[in-house]
Amino acid sequence: MDLARNEALRQRLDRGLRGFDVVERRAEEGRAAAVAVAIADEGHGADVGGLPRHGRWSGDAAVLLTRRSSRLRHHAGQWALPGGRLDEGETHQAAALRELEEEIGLSLTHETVLGRLDDFETRSGFVITPIVVWAGPARELRPNPGEVASIHRIPLRELLRRDAPLLDHEHDSQVPVLRMPVGDSSIAAPTAALLYQFREVCLCGRGTRVAHFEQPRFAWR
């Protein structure tokens, strides 16, 4: 599969999203959130578990991920897609674009939004709506020090690894915890579940559901 960040890839993502029947979930007041699955250039990203820091831009596509600041009250230090709660009267698309700018300094218009994936209800009580965004080169990013410890570019080829996803059973649960391997490390649900559905729907053209997967205990709070 050609994973260059070009018009052919954009059309592939667009086709997958247009043919996907989204499942929406009702959020309690103040519990609606949106995240951006932002597709940008690979290269010059911070190291991730054995993935090398790139000295040049490869031309391939990557998804932008953050490591949350250790100073945050909730989910400190965890992997995350840029995102957060919806402001009053705000749409999911607007929230995802606003959070991209606030968290990593990436300003995009609504025309860059390709579509959305299934809502995902977290153990901490939020309903997350993933918004897929064509972010362009995105070569000048600035982490907000109050929220983001580092910004990472995860090559799309990592999402297509043969050992993905990893499924673990924890705490006598009948439902497996989903993880996505990245380099010699891994990312856990809920972020991993959203990345896996992006892979399935946008890259592979499969309508795979992920809302049933469990999250590890450290992500419950």
How confident is the model at residue 172, as a pLDDT?
67
For residue 134, the model assigns a pLDDT of 98
Domains of the chain: 7-160 (3.90.79.10)
pLDDT confidence of residue 217: 65
Whose CA is closest to 213, among 123, 126, 116? 123
Helices (H), the chain: 7-18, 92-104, 156-159, 191-198
User: Looking at per-residue confidence, does 111 or 76 come out higher?
Assistant: 111
Distance of CA 156 to the CA centre of its chain: 11
Distance CA 14, CA 132 (A): 9
Residue with the bigger pLDDT between 104 and 77: it is: 104
Q: What is the pLDDT of residue 221?
A: 60
How far is residue 99's CA from residue 81's CA, in Å, rounded to a whole number? 10
User: Please, what's the b/e burial string for 35-50 (b: 16 or more CB within 10 A of its CB; e: otherwise)?
Assistant: bbbbbbbbbebeebee
What is the C-alpha to C-alpha distance for residues 202 and 15, in angstroms, rounded to an integer? 8
Strands 61-68 and 79-80 turn out to be antiparallel
Extract the tokens encoding 13.
Answer: 């993502």
pLDDT band at 44, cuts 50/70/90?
low
Share of the chain above pLDDT 70, in %: 86
Contact 34, 95 (CB under 8 A): yes
Nearest to 41 by CA among 60, 22, 21, 20: 60
- Write down the pTM of the prediction: 0.91
Q: What 3-state DSSP class applies to 127? A: strand
Rounded Cα distance between 140 and 138, Å, is 6
Compute CA distances 206 → 16, 69, 182, whole Å: 8, 34, 21
Given this model, what pLDDT does residue 171 score?
Answer: 65
What residue spans of 105-210 are helical by DSSP H? 156-159, 191-198
Q: What is the pLDDT of residues 104-159, one digit of tens each?
A: 999 999 999 999 999 999 988 899 999 999 999 998 899 988 888 889 999 999 99
- Inform me whether the pLDDT recorded for 220 exceeds 70: no
Query: Does the structure show a pLDDT above 70 at 11?
Result: yes
